[in-house]
Amino acid sequence: MTPSSPEPKAALLGQLYELFRRKGYDGVSIGDISAETGLGRSSLYHHFPGGKAEMAQAVLAFTRTTMEANFLAPLSSDAPLPARIGAMLVAVDRAYQSGEGPCVLAALLSASDDGPLSAGLAQLFQDWAAAIAASLTQAGVDAAEARRRAITALALIQGGLIIARGLKDRSAFAAALAAANATLVRAAA
Amino acid sequence: MTPSSPEPKAALLGQLYELFRRKGYDGVSIGDISAETGLGRSSLYHHFPGGKAEMAQAVLAFTRTTMEANFLAPLSSDAPLPARIGAMLVAVDRAYQSGEGPCVLAALLSASDDGPLSAGLAQLFQDWAAAIAASLTQAGVDAAEARRRAITALALIQGGLIIARGLKDRSAFAAALAAANATLVRAAA
DNA sequence: GTCTATAGATCGATAGAC
DNA sequence: GTCTATCGATCTATAGAC
């Protein structure tokens, strides 16, 4: 209803996304967010009356949107399997800056055991795994094997981010992505 | 010098290890630690004058000891490669309770970008990767390929923990461990 | 070596003016 | 929709008795 704000929230959501991703749920404070966005505390609570928890859920919804557009959509094209997988992995490499920073899903997972975020996170991981598996079954891979490979690939992506950051060696993320690609495109079991 | 304390710190360290592992560096407070250990705040600062940061570094040293004993030592035995790898993965599965909880390295990594913990964490990841790679080269795998496989396996372990927790499905961790095993023991490149 | 008590800073969140 | 000002709780850390 307020005509002055078509969608200023989009930029704000992007800033929240980056903050939660880099510092984790517990590591980011309202003061951090206020400093980063230039908005006062009360302005933030105007947009998110539920406070930090509501901000995290908004970030999760934002993540779902961008993930569906960047990771899942390429998997549904009618291109050959290697092209579909390659497109997803290129998007993943870009989204995570070649291993520079953490994944927002892992960052939110740290503090969400049985919290309200937990269900949404599980659904997002599940949808990602299902989209990869569906892409494999369409190429003739057995369903159970497709799910195993999808989970292996997701573990390689997430673990690759951790190892690259732990080792301070971004090439470890590239190696993990290469392994994920090999797992997903090798001949049907 | 105090005769009354041969090593009461061992139990304390184990409690700190579990707290940091499960809640992460940012997620654990001195109050949490006081409640969990039954020690007052001042007692904790008596043992760790540097506060939370010193506790985290003590946990890191504790982790190094247990990791060397449980993960790295089996890799140096004179058993065949599959037995050595299998022994490490069994120890990994046990240490992480089959995917129930996070790895303390990932938990400490979240808040350690360029912090004093960062170097110690990198060394621990590096030593782990080097031990795995050495085990492979001893079995005839090319050095560069051995390192790639070691990094892939570590990514699978770390990522498997994240995916299993995210999906709330511990079998995802088992699948990641199986993939790590396959990567490490398959025929030399 | 552990305790009670508390300082000083920062936390998440709110009130109310504009 | 943003601001200033602030509340009460919690945080890390310290002081000092025992």
Q: What CATH architecture is A59-185?
A: Orthogonal Bundle (1.10)
Residues A87-119: tens digit of each pLDDT: 999 999 999 999 999 999 999 998 878 888 999
Which three-class secondary structure string do you get for B144-166?
HHHHHHHHHHHHHHHHHHHHHHH
Tokens linked to A42: 């009360």
Tokens linked to B146: 């051995």
Of A152, A163, A179, the CB nearest to B158: A163
Q: How confident is the model at residue B187 (pLDDT cuts 50, 70, 90)?
A: confident
Please check whether residue B149 is in contact with residue B125, taking contact to mean a CB–CB distance below 8 angstroms.
Answer: no
Interface probe, candidates A162, A168, A171, A183, chain B, greatest B C-beta count within 10 A: A162
Q: Which nucleotide is nearest to B47 (CA to C1')?
A: C1
User: How many beta-carbon pairs below 8 A join chains A and B?
Assistant: 129
Q: Which nucleotide is nearest to B45 (CA to C1')?
A: D13
Average pLDDT (A143-161) is: 98
Average pLDDT (A36-57) is: 96
Average pLDDT (A11-38) is: 97
Inter-chain CB proximity A172 and B155 less than 8 Å: yes
Of B106, B155, B175, the CB nearest to A151: B175
What pLDDT, on a 0 to 100 scale, did the predictor assign at position B188? 77
Interface probe, candidates A64, A89, A123, A158, chain B, greatest B C-beta count within 10 A: A158
Q: Say if residue B174's pLDDT is above 60.
A: yes
Rounded distance in angstroms from the CA atom of residue B1 to the C1' atom of nucleotide D13: 26
What pLDDT, on a 0 to 100 scale, did the predictor assign at position A115? 83
Residues B133-152: tens digit of each pLDDT: 999 999 999 999 999 999 99
What pLDDT, on a 0 to 100 scale, did the predictor assign at position B6? 44
Tokens linked to A141: 């891979």
**Which residue has the least CA–C1' distance to nucleotide D15?**
B42
Inter-chain CB proximity A152 and B165 less than 8 Å: no
Residues B25-63: tens digit of each pLDDT: 999 999 999 999 999 999 999 999 999 999 999 999 999
Chain B residues close to A176, C-beta within 8 Å: 151-152, 155, 159
What pLDDT, on a 0 to 100 scale, did the predictor assign at position A4? 39
Q: Say if residue A2's pLDDT is above 80.
A: no
Average pLDDT (A145-149) is: 98
Average pLDDT for chain A: 94
Is the distance between the Cβ of B169 and the closest atom of strand D smaller than 7 Å?
Answer: no
What pLDDT, on a 0 to 100 scale, did the predictor assign at position A134? 98
Closest Cα in chain B to A114: B168
Please check whether residue A101 is in contact with residue A22, taking contact to mean a CB–CB distance below 8 angstroms.
Answer: yes
What pLDDT, on a 0 to 100 scale, did the predictor assign at position A7? 58
pTM over 0.75: yes
Which one, of B157, B142, B149, lies nearest residue B184 by Cα? Answer: B149
Chain A residues contacting B, CB < 8 Å? 23-24, 26-27, 102, 105-107, 109-111, 113, 118, 121-122, 125-126, 129, 148, 151-152, 154-160, 162-163, 165-168, 172, 175-176, 179, 183
Please check whether residue B102 is in contact with residue B24, taking contact to mean a CB–CB distance below 8 angstroms.
Answer: yes
What pLDDT, on a 0 to 100 scale, did the predictor assign at position A9? 83
Chain A residues close to B154, C-beta within 8 Å: 159, 163
Burial (CB count <10 Å: 0-12, 13-18, 19+), residue A125: buried
What pLDDT, on a 0 to 100 scale, did the predictor assign at position B115? 82
How far is the CA of A154 from the CAs of A22, B66, B175, in angstroms? 20, 28, 11
Residues A158-180: tens digit of each pLDDT: 999 999 999 999 999 999 999 99
Q: In the 41-60 stretch of chain B, whose C-beta falls under 7 Å of nucleic acid strand D?
A: 41-42, 45, 49, 51-53
Give A182's contacts (C-beta < 8 A, 6+ positions apart). Answer: none
Chain A residues close to B153, C-beta within 8 Å: none
